[in-house]
Amino acid sequence: MSIESLSERAAELRSALHEHIYRYNVLSDPIITDAEYDALLNELREIETEHPELITPDSPTQRVGSDLSSDLPKVQHPRSILSLSNAYSEADIRAWRQRIGRLLPEDAQLEYVVEPKFDGLTVVLAYENGILVNAATRGNGEVGDDVTPNARTIRTVPLRIPAASSGPDAPARLVVRGEVLFLKQDFQALNTRMREEGLTLFANARNTASGALKQKDARITAERPLTMYCYNIVVADGAVPDTQWKTLQYLRELGFLTADEVIRCFDNLDDTIEYALGYAEHRHDLTYEIDGLVIKVNSLATADELGVVGKDPRGAVAYKFPAEEATTKLRDVVWNVGRTGVLTPTAVLDPVPIGGVIVKQASLHNYDLIASKDIRLGDSVVVKRSGDVIPYVVGPVLPARTGEEVPVALPEVCPVCGSPVARDEDEVALYCTNPACPERIARNVEYFVSRGALDIDGLGERGVRLLLDLGLIHDEADIFYIKPDDLLPLEGFGEKRAANLMTSIERAKHRPLARLIAALGIRGVGSTTAEDLVEHFHSLDALAAASVKDLVGVDGVGPRTAQSLAEWFAEPRNKALIEKLRAAGVELVDTSAKPVNDSDKLAGMTFVLTGTLPSLTRTEASEIIQRNGGKVTDSVSKKTSYVVAGDAPGSKLDKAQKLGISILDEAALLELVNGE
Ligand code: IVH
């Protein structure tokens, strides 16, 4: 390429990168993946390395990465806090090995340590005479924000080392590097709390961790349960291990948290690569987010000799997992009707492989997202598929627009029943206004019988659709009027299956009232709210008679849920439904509070339950045992009278057999209770 075209290309790359940096950092709305961004940056870097005269002061390559805040004290790092170069494929990893091979003796045999690449933020901890004296963020790599009081709130940051008296002596001064993050469950719990308090949810765990760590008031940090994993010694006064593998072990012995479940050491590159590439499919099994693995030369002396390019040490490389995002064309939007009538849009896409799966459809969440992101038919869209999450559309690639794209038309009528569509108060959702919409009914019945609701075993989505299609049921209550003769002619229903289903239906009449209320699928009423309502009203009739004012007086019920409850009970269809339930003999009052002792046949006996019983749930079996005077405990011991075992029993069964304890199946348990 001529110097002119190189110069032109460099200018093109610079302006593209500036736009992407802005979209990522300011708008939080990136339109390319990290890998695509890195490829552009690397191309620019290569041109500039060959032709330094083409470097401009505004080139993105000249920016020193910094996350410094203006209002926190600063800490000078004892050594540069380096970054890592990236690899996206086996070829990239082999190229890294070749590059460093040129700087090593020809026959150098290297060992490699593989570690998780934590998706958190770097924190540097300094200890003097075993006491934590300061904690700082990476900042610009030379100077970081002082976050000492905040880091002290993190339980996995030892305040003194060794944390256990059995640990090794700590050097007089030790500076350790690691990553602060949220465990997935902690982040979820934080958001659950935010939701309960009516506050805005946090979108991104990494940014939330960063925000939490930089709070000026450490009490706020303390309310955000952060975790810190450590992986590196920055400097030490005193003897420290000479390999990365031993460093990790040493850090663990001193009391730091290390990622033991992932870390491996290999004596050759092939095994290292096999492990790293294969790990991608396990990434979501971990309790924290990782975006790749880091491969490090095990010998710290060798790593040191290899030196640094820019800010990246040559002795390590970050292997980034295959992108979970791809770009494809949006061809159509179809609307599905949910149980509460809400219409949810699904994107129909040109098939595209993401992470080894061909994606043809993706969620568009709600109508509001389409409008706010201005997603149009014919757009190139970024689609993300991450772990078990249903693929979803991130947004359109605006620069790819040709002008041919057309806005997504909002449905004016329900695609199933043709009734008018309305918008909810927030204007986020569209919904079908017809409570008798056949799709809504089908979804409601499916929900009514599902596991979390009335748990009618043997009746799944297909069974429900079949019964509705054949006109054997028309609503939820009709389930209780099904006769064995209705079922026998149906495909797949033999005598036995029909009899089992009849037993499950009979049992469902006596579920706790809170389960029934939750099963009705009233907007805003999940199992917790249903329990709160039962505690307050004790019967479905009392709940049905309650005014909005009565309802908001119940703990855990907000004005919206109160309104939706009142509306639900005012609906004629629902009034009729309740009467049908009553006539069928469904329990509409709370019986759980009554002290019951049906017999004392099991008095003095201790039971342990294991495995899945054919018809009773674990709670029901426990209840039967307790109502008859028995006790249920969790673990098998010599004191256990019986172990009740179902399908796929756990180790409790083995233990019972070893101890010679009598084993019962469900029938034998019922026999014990009902027998003479
Ligand atoms: S080693 C000389 N190891 O990834 C040490 N970094 O993309 C260089 N990171 O800035 C870093 N997990 O914040 C290292 N196991 C790990 C890591 C890790 C996450 C972060 C670190 C670094 C960034 C580079």
| Sheet with 131-137, edge to edge strand ranges | 131-137, 121-128, 173-181, 227-237
- Please tell me the predicted confidence (pLDDT) of residue 674: 77
Give how far Cα 625 sits from Cα of 455, 511, 651, 665, Å: 21, 17, 22, 13
pLDDT tens by residue, 242-274: 999 999 999 999 999 999 999 999 999 999 999
Which has the minimum average pLDDT: 59-68, 368-377, 438-447, 474-483? 59-68
For ligand 1, is residue 317 a contact (CB within 6 Å)? no
Alpha helices in 255-311 (DSSP H): 269-279, 300-306
Tell me, in angstroms, the distance from the centre of ligand 1 to residue 152's CA: 22
Nearest CA to ligand 1 atom 18: 117
Residue 393 burial (CB < 10 Å; 0-12/13-18/19+)? buried
Given ligand 1 and candidates 38, 213, 261, 294, which is best to mutate, with the most ligand atoms within 8 Å of its CB? 294
Q: If DSSP codes are grouped into helix, strand and coil, which group holds residue 41?
A: helix
For ligand 1, is residue 316 a contact (CB within 6 Å)? yes
| Cα separation, 188 vs 182, whole angstroms | 9
| Cα separation, 329 vs 307, whole angstroms | 45
For ligand 1, is residue 231 a contact (CB within 6 Å)? yes
- Catalytic: which of 74, 117, 246, 549? 117
Atom of ligand 1 nearest to the CA of 121: 13
- Please tell me the predicted confidence (pLDDT) of residue 68: 63
CA angle 54, 60, 62 (to 5 degrees): 70
CA angle 423, 426, 430 (to 5 degrees): 25
Please indicate whether residue 639 is annotated as part of the active site.
no
For ligand 1, is residue 643 a contact (CB within 6 Å)? no
Q: If DSSP codes are grouped into helix, strand and coil, which group holds residue 337?
A: strand
- Please tell me the predicted confidence (pLDDT) of residue 29: 67
Rounded (10°) angle between helices 269-279 and 90-101: 150
- Please tell me the predicted confidence (pLDDT) of residue 483: 93
Residue 183 has pLDDT above 90, yes or no: yes
For ligand 1, is residue 642 a contact (CB within 6 Å)? no
Atom of ligand 1 nearest to the CA of 86: 7
Tell me, in angstroms, the distance from the centre of ligand 1 to residue 250's CA: 18
Cβ–Cβ under 8 Å, residues 42 and 34: no
For ligand 1, is residue 306 a contact (CB within 6 Å)? no
pLDDT band at 38 (very low <50, low <70, confident <90, very high): confident
Residue 24 has pLDDT above 80, yes or no: no
Given ligand 1 and candidates 117, 247, 248, 263, which is best to mutate, with the most ligand atoms within 8 Å of its CB? 117
- Please tell me the predicted confidence (pLDDT) of residue 66: 56
| Cα separation, 46 vs 294, whole angstroms | 23
Tell me, in angstroms, the distance from the centre of ligand 1 to residue 669's CA: 57
Atom of ligand 1 nearest to the CA of 119: 19
Given ligand 1 and candidates 84, 137, 305, which is best to mutate, with the most ligand atoms within 8 Å of its CB? 84
Nearest CA to ligand 1 atom 6: 117
How large is the average pLDDT for residues 657-676? 86
For ligand 1, is residue 208 a contact (CB within 6 Å)? no
- Please tell me the predicted confidence (pLDDT) of residue 598: 78
Indicate whether this model's pTM tops 0.85. Answer: no
For ligand 1, is residue 247 a contact (CB within 6 Å)? no
pLDDT tens by residue, 233-243: 999 998 999 99
Residue 330 has pLDDT above 50, yes or no: yes
Residue 388 has pLDDT above 70, yes or no: no
Residue 216 has pLDDT above 90, yes or no: no
For ligand 1, is residue 118 a contact (CB within 6 Å)? yes
How large is the average pLDDT for residues 652-665? 91
For ligand 1, is residue 137 a contact (CB within 6 Å)? no
Nearest CA to ligand 1 atom 10: 83
Given ligand 1 and candidates 179, 206, 265, 297, which is best to mutate, with the most ligand atoms within 8 Å of its CB? 179
Residue 399 has pLDDT above 70, yes or no: yes
Alpha helices in 373-456 (DSSP H): 438-449
- Please tell me the predicted confidence (pLDDT) of residue 594: 41
Residue 446 burial (CB < 10 Å; 0-12/13-18/19+)? buried
Eight-class DSSP state of 480: G
| Mean of all residue pLDDT scores within the chain | 89
pLDDT band at 464 (very low <50, low <70, confident <90, very high): very high
Atom of ligand 1 nearest to the CA of 313: 2
- Please tell me the predicted confidence (pLDDT) of residue 79: 95
Tell me, in angstroms, the distance from the centre of ligand 1 to residue 483's CA: 65
Two tokens, residue 296: 């490090």
Atom of ligand 1 nearest to the CA of 259: 15
| Cα separation, 301 vs 303, whole angstroms | 5
Q: If DSSP codes are grouped into helix, strand and coil, which group holds residue 109?
A: coil
For ligand 1, is residue 115 a contact (CB within 6 Å)? yes
Residue 69 has pLDDT above 70, yes or no: no
For ligand 1, is residue 581 a contact (CB within 6 Å)? no
Residue 62 has pLDDT above 70, yes or no: no
Atom of ligand 1 nearest to the CA of 318: 7
Atom of ligand 1 nearest to the CA of 84: 24
- Please tell me the predicted confidence (pLDDT) of residue 162: 92
For ligand 1, is residue 232 a contact (CB within 6 Å)? yes
Cβ–Cβ under 8 Å, residues 130 and 187: no
For ligand 1, is residue 294 a contact (CB within 6 Å)? yes
Given ligand 1 and candidates 64, 66, 83, 311, which is best to mutate, with the most ligand atoms within 8 Å of its CB? 83
Residue 415 burial (CB < 10 Å; 0-12/13-18/19+)? middle
Residue 386 has pLDDT above 80, yes or no: no
pLDDT band at 28 (very low <50, low <70, confident <90, very high): low
- For residues 46-58, one letter each, b for 16 or more C-beta atoms within 10 angstroms of the residue's C-beta and e for the rest, the string is ebbeeeeebbeee
Cβ count near 614 (within 10 Å): 12
CA-nearest of 42, 39, 22, 41 to 31 is 22
| Cα separation, 426 vs 79, whole angstroms | 52
Tell me, in angstroms, the distance from the centre of ligand 1 to residue 296's CA: 10
Tell me, in angstroms, the distance from the centre of ligand 1 to residue 119's CA: 9
Residue 61 has pLDDT above 80, yes or no: no
